[in-house]
Structure 1
Amino acid sequence: MVHLCSKLCFFATALNPFEFFLFRIISCVLQLFFSYFKELVGKEVTVELKNDLAIRGTLHSVDQYLNIKLENTRVVDQVKYPHMLSVRNCFIRGSVVRYVQLPPDGVDIEILHDATRREARGS
């Protein structure tokens, strides 16, 4: 995430103090989610898009923009989206994701608490 922040530093200098504060908060939240999703690579997740399409598959990769690549995909509602039945791998732009449903065994609460504390301290 450091490289994302460094790319946006020029943009951030044009912001007023309040906008810059919001920018820093959003950057920290993105970094927290990015770090967490990297730990889920290889696990099955369900991604619900803003257009109500839900796709279940194995998380292959995620980047700093929270773009997601899924493998072995299948559509949750096959009746509503029959044209998606043949899709086996997909790339999902982070800005169109509404929710990501995580596997129950993939949630380590202690790691999330530690990461949240570190972000709150600013380290």
Structure 2
Amino acid sequence: MLFFSFFKTLVDHKVTVELKNDIQIEGTLKSVDQYLNIKLDDITVVEEIRWPHLSSVKNIFIRGSVVRYVHLPAADVDTALLEDATRREAAQTSARARQG
């Protein structure tokens, strides 16, 4: 669940979503859920010449199972928050392993 909390911090930031069919879509992240289903507003397609049928689309819902990567601007990533959350998750996993 770490990635879900992390992506929630990026709502209203610009991201680029790369799909498994090689389409890259840039837009403003409006929502994301635990399955990585993503809603983007104000989208543009990175290679619009290859995908002209998407030029008129302004908002899109992307099913998580078709997402290959989510590219984030480095300035928008709170690395301290991400490192802290990773440490907490690792500690919880370690504690569960010792108990059972």
Does the alignment reach a TM-score above 0.5?
Answer: yes
Seq. identity, %:
63
CA-based RMSD of the aligned residues comes to 0.9
Deviation at 1:64, TM superposition (A): 1.3
Of 105-114 and 37-46, deviating more is 105-114
Cα deviation code 1:11-35 (max 9, x no counterpart): xxxxxxxxxxxxxxxxxxxx11100
Q: Distance in 2 between matches of 1:43 and 1:121?
A: 30
Q: Distance in 2 between matches of 1:41 and 1:105?
A: 14
Q: Is 1:43 equivalent to 2:13 in the alignment? A: yes
Tell me the SS of whatever aligns to 2:2: helix
Which residues in structure 2 correspond to 1:84-95 (within 5 Å)? 84-95=54-65
- Higher share in strand: 2
Cα deviation code 1:21-50 (max 9, x no counterpart): xxxxxxxxxx11100000000000000000
Q: Distance in 2 between matches of 1:108 and 1:39?
A: 9
Q: 5+ unaligned residues in a row in structure 1: which ranges?
A: 1-30
Matched pairs, number: 93
Higher-RCO chain (CA-CA 8 Å, sequence separation at least 6): 2
Q: TM-score scaled to structure 1, two decimals?
A: 0.73
Q: TM-score scaled to structure 2, two decimals?
A: 0.90
Q: Is 1:98 equivalent to 2:68 in the alignment? A: yes
